[in-house]
Amino acid sequence: MILKAYQTVRYRTQHKVMKYLSMVLPFPVPDILQGPGSVKKLARRIQADGVKNVIVVTDKVLMELGLPDVFLDSLDESGIEYTIYDEVMPNPTIECIEDGVKVYKAEKCNGIVAFGGGSAMDCAKIIGARVSNGYMPIRRMKGNFMVWLPLPPLYAIPTTAGTGSETTVAAVVSDPKTHEKFAINDLKLVPKVAVLDPELMVGLPPHITSTTGMDALTHAVEAYIGLNGNPFTDDKAKAATLLIFENLEKAYSNGSDLEARNNMALASYYAGTAFTRAYVGYVHAIAHNMGGMYGVPHGLANAIILAPVLEFCRKESEKKLADLAIAGGIGELGEPAEDLSIRFIEKIKTMNKNMKIPSTIKELKKEDIPLIAKRALAEAHPDYPVPRIMTMEECKKLIGKLLS
Ligand SMILES: NC(=O)c1ccc[n+]([C@@H]2O[C@H](COP(=O)([O-])OP(=O)(O)OC[C@H]3O[C@@H](n4cnc5c(N)ncnc54)[C@H](O)[C@@H]3O)[C@@H](O)[C@H]2O)c1
Ligand SMILES: [Fe+2]
């Protein structure tokens, strides 16, 4: 009991310090190229920055789809040399990043373009961090502010509407040796330019559209209900929630709906803007470990874990969940906060159901639960400013609910 009280005071003190820091830190904001076809404008910008030879970090799926072609043609037209590094896998590993660093150096590049989902963007970010900080192994960059020297110019072209990595200070890496997934957080990881082009998202398959969209919703919700939000992040989180409620199922059922795709690209960016300043919570702490342990896609893990975590902290977050229900257009001012908060959680469950997202994690093994809980709490405490602090027993119980 005394230990728990001591821990609560320690965590809450740290949260206050971080809240203050997040308000005074000069978070860089990428320049935005936005709207259908905007990807064609990036080459000119790269040229104007004096960058002559870029590494394009992407994956084989996107190369086979020919998705980067329009962009690569525009690089040719602008006389910018490029080398394609397409070895990125979902949940990028340390090895995959180190291979990218070798290519960057061998080809004497002087800029980086991330073309893809969060995996490509995070891989590109850490390639950049390693190129500039050669003495610093990736594992030692884990945590906050461990990237000392600035990255080469970094440009992000997201092709999923989910992670918000195009505007965040974070990059997430998997360590296959320990089956851990960890984040590197540094202001220097924010790209110079982010391209939000919905045309690149039209071919995103429905099951990736849905899960990456639920990742964006998780960012908005965790940023809003956590204790470190401020009026700026609150506005972004509310705007993202409304856009996601209104557009995610449309984009899921009709991938060619350009307006829905455009709104989801914006929602993902807004949610990224919110959580990079206000942080995430237990949904991400547990989801990262499902990714590290079993390779469960990040968005899918978040989509499944979001409702159980909100049920765990519903009372503590009642007012804020009610705000989000109103902001998301599923409630009215004046309705009881309890009803609105319950309706908000039900809405998440309904969206998952409509988009055929399961409510359990099929890879999860009962015997792994203690280790996953231990690692999830080690990730969350003391950094994540969660509305209700979870004990080890509560965490194990919650993860147990995710068993098939
Ligand atoms: N840095 C951050 O702030 C941040 C935030 C949240 C998540 N993440 C990380 O991002 C990663 C997940 O990223 P993600 O959810 O965007 O998925 P992803 O990048 O792993 O991509 C998932 C799959 O979708 C395919 N794909 C992507 N765009 C496509 C398109 N337009 N058309 C067809 N297929 C396409 C990819 O080839 C890949 O096979 C995880 O490692 C997660 O931890 C990072
Ligand atoms: Fe996420």
Reference 272, options 294, 243, 252, 246; nearest CA is 243
Q: Do you find a cis peptide bond into 382, omega within 30 degrees of 0?
A: yes
Give dist(CA 29, CA 8) in Å, integer.
33
- Lowest-confidence pick of 18-22, 60-64, 100-104, 375-379: 18-22
The rounded Å distance from CA 148 to ligand 1 centre is 26
DSSP 389: P
Mean pLDDT over 301-326 rounds to 98
| Cβ atoms of 380 and 281 closer than 8 Å | yes
The tens digit of pLDDT for each residue in 50-60 reads 999 999 999 99
The predicted pLDDT at position 402 comes to 98
User: Which position has the token pair 């960012």?
Assistant: 219
The rounded Å distance from CA 275 to ligand 2 centre is 9
Ligand 1 pocket residue status of 292, Cβ below 6 Å: no
Residue 214 has pLDDT above 90, yes or no: yes
The answer to whether the Cα torsion of 38, 39, 43, 49 is positive or negative is: positive
Count helices and strands in the chain by DSSP H and E runs: 15, 9
Give dist(CA 279, CA 32) in Å, integer.
22
Residues making up the chain, counted from first to last: 404
Residue 1 has pLDDT above 80, yes or no: no
Question: 248-251 long-range CB contacts below 8 Å, 24 or more apart?
Answer: 248/209, 248/210, 248/213, 248/214, 248/217, 248/351, 248/355, 249/351, 249/354, 249/355, 251/161, 251/201, 251/209, 251/213
Domains of the chain: 2-24+204-400 (1.20.1090.10), 35-201 (3.40.50.1970)
Residue 123 has pLDDT above 80, yes or no: yes
Which pTM was predicted? 0.97
pLDDT band for position 223 (cuts 50, 70, 90): very high
DSSP 185: E
345 vs 91, higher pLDDT: 345
Residue 133 has pLDDT above 90, yes or no: yes
| Cβ atoms of 242 and 326 closer than 8 Å | no
The tens digit of pLDDT for each residue in 34-83 reads 999 999 999 999 999 999 999 999 999 999 999 999 999 999 999 999 99
The rounded Å distance from CA 265 to ligand 2 centre is 14
What is each CA distance from 207 to 78, 325, 340, 348, in whole angstroms? 36, 25, 28, 16
Coil, helix or strand for 330?
coil
| Cβ atoms of 96 and 88 closer than 8 Å | yes
Residue 386 has pLDDT above 80, yes or no: yes
Coil, helix or strand for 258?
helix
Residue 21 has pLDDT above 90, yes or no: no
Ligand 1 pocket residue status of 228, Cβ below 6 Å: no
Ligand 1 pocket residue status of 117, Cβ below 6 Å: yes
Give dist(CA 193, CA 164) in Å, integer.
13
CA 83 from centre of chain: 26
Ligand 1 pocket residue status of 302, Cβ below 6 Å: no
The predicted pLDDT at position 7 comes to 85
Beta-carbon contacts of 1 under 8 Å, excluding residues fewer than 6 positions away, are none
Ligand 1 pocket residue status of 322, Cβ below 6 Å: no
User: Which position has the token pair 């809405």?
Assistant: 347
The predicted pLDDT at position 221 comes to 98
The rounded Å distance from CA 385 to ligand 1 centre is 25
Ligand 1 pocket residue status of 233, Cβ below 6 Å: no
Q: Which ligand is nearest to the CA of 158?
A: 1
User: What is the number of the ligand 1 atom nearest to the C-alpha of 288?
Assistant: 43
pLDDT band for position 6 (cuts 50, 70, 90): confident
Reference 348, options 208, 247, 218; nearest CA is 218
The rounded Å distance from CA 52 to ligand 1 centre is 27
CB neighbourhood size of 49 (10 A): 14
Mean of per-residue pLDDT scores for the chain: 96
The predicted pLDDT at position 347 comes to 98
Q: Which protein residue's CA is at the shortest distance from atom 6 of ligand 1? A: 163
pLDDT band for position 236 (cuts 50, 70, 90): very high
